[in-house]
A and B are shown apart, each in its own frame.
Chain A
Amino acid sequence: MAATAPPYDPTNVAAEELPRTRWWRRTARNRSIWLGGVLIAVLAIVALLAPVLAPYDPTKLAAGKRLSPPSWEHAFGTDEFGRDIFSRVIHGTQLTLYVGVVAVGIGLLAGAAIGIGAGYAGGWVQAVLMRGVDFLYTFPDILIALGLVAFLGPSLTNAMVAVGISVVPYYARVTYSVVLVERNKPYFEAATAIGAGWPRLVVRHLLPNIVPPLIVVATLGFSAAVLSAAALSFLGLGAQPPAPEWGKMLADGRNYIARAPWILVFPGLAIVVTVLGFNILGDGIRDVLDPRQRREVR
């Protein structure tokens, strides 16, 4: 031990790393965030630039080119109506991200409201809200979504709403559990003792503390929502022809699986990449935000 450490100076705050810097460093070193983030970023760019990137009109029929295999002209081949699958997959990205954002948005907002209400109010409010959520939780998500679409009528908008509603119980439960933990921490009691009324307690003190876990859950939930919407479209209850929705493309192409597998392979791959991207990103965010799961990057 030749070198002597500088004497400890408790007033030297500059020596202490700022939390923001540390947060960024952890984020920058996290491979999951990089991989997932890049995948999602590429998808978002593709969705935004779809009209520019797509070489053909995704809905234009071409009777002469039915079921042609991938070629220089049609990178992903064409479907049973001669439509360019590459262009359809690219335009489908728009629909898929849109569906995901709306469905997760509905689920998260309604679920968080229920969870916060139940967790903060307690008593009979909590009992009524959470027993209602438990009741909905007993049904599989897709069954609730199916029922709602059957009731609302098949369309992509209704499918988004239905998927959103079907995941409300999930977000409500997660929010509720986080709120219970936070509201029993001493800082919450201290804020009450300072004289904060309930709106201030919820918005100012509670919300910032429950947002990080909700970001993780929403990112992971995004892929589930995309899958559910694709499933509804596959069943004919979501996007209607000729919309280039990936689930719908799978459904329409399944009769040709032996003769023209490319009709299914490419939209299927697109779904896989999207779901994977959000799952990896969600895992990464959780690693960064949750100190218990935090691990050193190898």
Chain B
Amino acid sequence: MAADTVRPILSIRDLRVTFQGGLGLAAAVDGVSCELQRGETLAVVGESGCGKSVTALSILRLIPSPPGRIAGGAIEFDGRDLLALAPEELYAVRGNAISMIFQEPMTSLNPVLSIGTQLTEGLIFHKRLGIREARERTVEMLRLVQIPDPEARLAQYAHQLSGGMRQRVMIAMALACEPRVLIADEPTTALDVTIQRQILDLMVELKERLGTAIILITHDLGVVAEMADRVAVMYAGKIIEQAPVDGLFDHPRHPYTRGLMAALPRLDRLSASGEEGRLNEMPGLVPSIYAMPPGCAFAPRCPFATSQCHAEEPAFEELSPGHYAACWEAGRLP
């Protein structure tokens, strides 16, 4: 990839995040490294609890502490380590250079402040705009996210908007300061399918218009195929496969990724009689983060596991240009 020669806008190196739980110290993110290029969309996929949201929250240092703690690593944005910033420097980055869209559009807006107040807030303190300018810019943003009658919306409150509309407001809020990186943590999970469609189209359009790099966290592979340039698959706190989106879908190298793909329900696999075949499932459960197996974390569920898999952790290796996977058997898989 040509992008390898360009300095990435965001690079995460060996990130470790631990949580102090009732059963001891658990590593929710265990040595994650990845890079995000300018204007690129990186999808992070994996099942619930694999550490994808924690990784995302760590970038803006939003991990609730206690019990959470960023135990190691570095997150470099534009040459600065975000983990080493003073609180004021951090406030200046949040919502300005890097912003975030959350999963819960229903509750991510303050119920007692008007939409206008919340939307103009960031512009006023990040961009030092006056109230009038901030309102004009906000109306523009609301128009951009296709909210009808934006001037009237400014005076409304969250409960007066529908779910899809609230998520658009959240997106407008996240994009108001024209961030260089947008972190979207399952931005469409809580929405119904038609609204999902509109929100995703909107994100693609905004990305093209503003040149924002996006980290898209999701467990919906359909969304990934459509949106992403590159995909990182996470399992039990680690990235186990990372590849350009076509490479990953055409030729997944890690057995876990293959399992994910196989578990997708597909209309073209319906039998001639219209009967649905049984969905493929992956046997077993994610290991408890309090009791990680010594070797590959996926080995207990993996149909290809050997004795080496159970004993030693596989290295994260480049198997073909830009395609990395952490699997001892990757080269020998059928």
Contact B110 A195 (CB under 8 A): no
Looking at A11, A185, A186, which has the most chain B CB atoms within 10 Å of its CB?
A186
Question: Which chain A residue has the least Cβ–Cβ distance from B164?
Answer: A10
Contact B121 A187 (CB under 8 A): no
Contact A195 B108 (CB under 8 A): no
The distance from the CB of A209 to the nearest CB of chain B, in whole angstroms, is 6
Residues of A within 8 A of B108 (CB): 186-187, 189-190
A200 within 8 A of B: yes
Residues of A within 8 A of B121 (CB): 191, 194, 196, 200, 204
Contact A193 B94 (CB under 8 A): yes
CA distance A11 to B152 in the complex (A): 11
Looking at B66, B92, B118, which has the most chain A CB atoms within 10 Å of its CB?
B118
13 A-B pairs with C-beta separation under 8 A: A11-B149, A13-B156, A187-B111, A189-B102, A190-B102, A190-B170, A190-B173, A193-B100, A195-B91, A195-B94, A195-B125, A200-B125, A209-B111
Question: Which chain B residue has the least Cβ–Cβ distance from A194?
Answer: B95
A65 within 8 A of B: no
CA distance A187 to B109 in the complex (A): 5
Taking a contact as CB atoms closer than 8 A, the residue among A19, A192, A195, A204 that contacts B113 in the complex is A204
CA distance A186 to B170 in the complex (A): 12
A197 within 8 A of B: yes
How would residues 98 to 134 of chain B score, 1 for a CB under 8 Å from any chain A CB and 0 otherwise? 0110101001111111000010011001100000000
A16 within 8 A of B: yes
Looking at A19, A123, A189, A200, which has the most chain B CB atoms within 10 Å of its CB?
A189
Complex interface residues of chain A between 11 and 70 (CB less than 8 A to chain B): 11, 13, 16, 19
The distance from the CB of B194 to the nearest CB of chain A, in whole angstroms, is 13
**What 5 A-B pairs are tightest by C-beta distance, nearest first?**
A195-B95, A194-B95, A195-B94, A190-B108, A208-B112
Q: Residues of A at under 8 Å CB distance from B?
A: 10-11, 13, 16, 19, 122-123, 185-187, 189-197, 200, 204-205, 208-209
Contact A195 B92 (CB under 8 A): yes
| Known contacts A13-B156, A189-B102, A204-B113; A194/B94 CB under 8 A | yes
Q: Give 17 new A-B contacts, CB below 8 A, not counting A193-B94, A196-B125, A200-B125.
A: A16-B160, A19-B157, A19-B160, A122-B66, A187-B107, A187-B108, A189-B102, A194-B95, A194-B121, A194-B122, A195-B92, A195-B96, A197-B88, A208-B110, A208-B112, A208-B113, A209-B112
B148 within 8 A of A: yes
CA distance A204 to B122 in the complex (A): 13
Residues of A within 8 A of B299 (CB): none
The distance from the CB of B334 to the nearest CB of chain A, in whole angstroms, is 44
CA distance A13 to B159 in the complex (A): 12
Contact B102 A186 (CB under 8 A): yes
Question: Which chain B residue has the least Cβ–Cβ distance from A187?
Answer: B110
Contact B162 A195 (CB under 8 A): no
CA distance A122 to B92 in the complex (A): 23
Looking at B87, B92, B107, B152, which has the most chain A CB atoms within 10 Å of its CB?
B107
Contact A193 B125 (CB under 8 A): no
CA distance A196 to B304 in the complex (A): 49
B62 within 8 A of A: yes
Taking a contact as CB atoms closer than 8 A, the residue among A122, A123, A190, A209 that contacts B109 in the complex is A190
Contact A186 B122 (CB under 8 A): no
CA distance A205 to B126 in the complex (A): 17
CA distance A13 to B62 in the complex (A): 36
CA distance A10 to B165 in the complex (A): 11
The distance from the CB of B49 to the nearest CB of chain A, in whole angstroms, is 19
Residues of B within 8 A of A10 (CB): 162
Contact B99 A193 (CB under 8 A): yes
How would residues 46 to 71 of chain B score, 1 for a CB under 8 Å from any chain A CB and 0 otherwise? 00000000000000101000100000
Residues of A within 8 A of B125 (CB): 195-196, 200
B206 within 8 A of A: no
CA distance A194 to B118 in the complex (A): 10
CA distance A290 to B334 in the complex (A): 62
